[in-house]
Amino acid sequence: MKILIDARELRTSSGRYVERLLHYLQQIDHEHDYVILLKPQDINEWEVTNPKFQKVVCPYKEFTFSEQTKLYKQIKNINPDLVHFTFVQQPVRYHGRTVTTIQDLTTTRFRNPTKNWLLFTIKQLIYKWVNVYVAQKSTALITPTEFVKKDIAAYAHVPLKKITVTYESADPIPDSPTPLKNIQDHNLQYSKYIMYLGRPLPHKNLWRLIEAFALLRKQHPDLLLVLAGKKDAAYDLIQHQAQKKGLIDGILFTGFVSEAEMKWLYLHCAAYVFPSLSEGFGLPALEATLNGAPIASSNATCLPEVYGDAAHYFDPLSVDDMAEKINDILIDEPLRQKLIAAGKKQAAKYSWKRMAEQTLDVYKEVLSKKD
């Protein structure tokens, strides 16, 4: 059978799922033929290691008219027996045997303040419709957690039996840890900073983290909040608001950090704080705990399902509760060490290879169905 996988999201912030899926499918499946659709800039970056896999250039961007017309024609010309759309964006007219991965419904529920209000509202309405329509037309769906499975079933009115959960995983960072110069300049020890790594989108709830940090500074005046991640318009907006409200003192916006610097930050932070209001899996904090960080986490959506007893949970809508739970980790060294140990144990439960094996089982089930 010929299986087409839409890997256009390979190098995006959410593309780790796609990259790991392709990596392990090449290891475990020597039966089916695969066609992998890649953006032009990725065609030479992704390596074929299995002769059953073929890569094809796909220049059609997500959420565009060309996706709906030209990508549709490209898929029809390839004539696959099954298509796996690894994200919800796809030609809605395509009605062949289809597996769609839906990571979460966050974008249907939160706005982006850096985007044009009217244009974003229109796009969000279309996106909401696409999620429902795609969920209903797909032969099978994949989600990264049970929470998202139930969420999708209720939102799109599809049966639970149509949805398979394939948990994702985290990877240890092989690079040797490299100190972040900005922190060295502050002459801080491991117990003097808390951190967050990632994008500053509204659902990440960073403003409440900043307010909680302001409360913590009253008890820990030498504490630093490290916000790591590539600077963009959203980070600029948060930094401006913090300055305007007089909360900027003690906050370090690092910008982009390398893998080696990231590992050093994880290993030496007093706590990794994950204040998110909505997640499909919560990979960033799982990666942090696998690489040595104790976790203070929001108790929203799927996060308790994924982290188990490896995190110290707080109500993400309560600045006071967030500050209190972070403070617990700052002052209670046995708790901190317990979370570090539990985190590594919890992260070890997940496997990218098992995720790929479960996905292959979904392919086989869909291929066995009659049109």
DSSP track, 1-27: -EEEEE-TTTTSTTTHHHHHHHHHHHH
Q: What is the CATH number of the domain that holds 96?
A: 3.40.50.2000
Q: Picking from 139-153, 183-197, 241-255, 258-272, which range would have the lowest pLDDT averaged per residue?
A: 183-197
Is residue 362 a part of any domain in this protein? Answer: yes
226 and 301 share one domain: yes
59 and 194 share one domain: no
142 and 31 share one domain: yes
pLDDT in tens, 205-252: 999 999 999 999 999 998 999 999 988 888 988 999 999 988 888 999
Give residue 282's region: left, alpha or beta (phi > 0; psi -120 to 50): left
165 and 25 share one domain: yes
360 and 341 share one domain: no
pLDDT in tens, 108-129: 999 888 788 899 899 999 999 9
Is residue 175 a part of any domain in this protein? Answer: no
At residue 189, does pLDDT exceed 70? Answer: no
Question: Average pLDDT in the 188-209 region?
Answer: 85
Q: Picking from 6-15, 293-302, 337-346, which range would have the lowest pLDDT averaged per residue?
A: 6-15
- 3-class state of residue 264 by DSSP: helix
Look at residue 190 in the predicted model and tell me its pLDDT.
46
pLDDT in tens, 58-115: 999 998 999 999 999 999 999 999 999 999 999 999 999 999 999 999 999 998 887 8
224 and 303 share one domain: yes
At residue 288, does pLDDT exceed 90? Answer: yes
> In the chain, how many domains are there?
2
**Domain, as residue range, for 244:** 181-347
Is residue 14 a part of any domain in this protein? Answer: yes
211 and 127 share one domain: no
Is residue 176 a part of any domain in this protein? Answer: no
At residue 55, does pLDDT exceed 60? Answer: yes
Structure tokens at 64: 């565009």
197 and 307 share one domain: yes
Using CA atoms in the order 277, 278, 283, 288, what is the torsion angle rounded to 10 degrees? Answer: 0
108 and 193 share one domain: no
Look at residue 186 in the predicted model and tell me its pLDDT.
58
